[in-house]
Amino acid sequence: MAMTGKNGITRRGLLGVFAATAVVAAPTYSNAFGLLKGAGDIRRIRMYSGRTGESIDTIYWIEGEYIPEVLKEINHFMRDWRTDDTLKMDPRNFDVMAAAHRLMDVSEPYMLLSGYRSPATNAMLRSNSRGVAKNSLHMKGQAADLRLKSRSVGQMAKAAKACSGGGVGTYSRSNFVHMDCGPVRTWGA
């Protein structure tokens, strides 16, 4: 489905429901390389934001092709909610998120805590926390901080690490996992 506000399903959402039925019939290539592991011929991303009240449940990649209109919707969804700034997100990060989600075999959408961060937002957060990187990949549209109610931070981090698609930060005390499509590395506990 496409992004919905508090008013219900959009036309794109109805088309997404139709397309989602193809997910059941689509073959998966779970032995595919690295970050594509478990992604299959159709890639889907499901998230909600407690900050904006929005949710997104959409297929963004079909048979080797990203869907540009859907990527724009995801970019808007993952905007800096403090400033309303958007950035063209790196779709490789969606691949990491989707593959990890699929590996966890969960239908619950991710709760998006942070997607894109403007430099001003990153500087503000950095001034209040030691855990915010000066050159955060959030500012490049290559990272997301995520949470699931039905999976522990450890389970989420393990699934993200199995994708070998980028960095995985485990923030057990704050109950979230950072996933990015930068260099493969891990930190936190």
Beta strands in 49-172 (DSSP E): 55-62, 65-66, 110-114, 143-147, 167-171
pLDDT at residue 26 in the model: 36
pLDDT at residue 44 in the model: 96
pLDDT at residue 132 in the model: 83
User: What φ, ψ does residue 111 adopt, rounded to 5°?
Assistant: -95, 120
User: Is 5 part of a structural domain of the chain?
Assistant: no
User: Is 6 part of a structural domain of the chain?
Assistant: no
pTM of the complete model: 0.78
Beta bridge partners, 178, equal 145, 169
CA dihedral for 83, 86, 92, 94, sign (positive or negative):
positive
Task: Give me the number of domains the chain comprises.
Answer: 1
User: Is 1 part of a structural domain of the chain?
Assistant: no
Closest to 163 (Cα-Cα) out of 100, 98, 94:
100
What domain range includes position 154?
A: 11-188
User: Is 76 part of a structural domain of the chain?
Assistant: yes
Mean pLDDT by 10 residues, the chain (189 residues): 49 44 35 46 94 96 95 98 96 97 96 96 87 89 97 98 97 96 95
pLDDT at residue 29 in the model: 32
pLDDT at residue 3 in the model: 53
Contact 78, 56 (CB under 8 A): no
Q: What is the CATH number of the domain that holds 132?
A: 3.30.1380.10
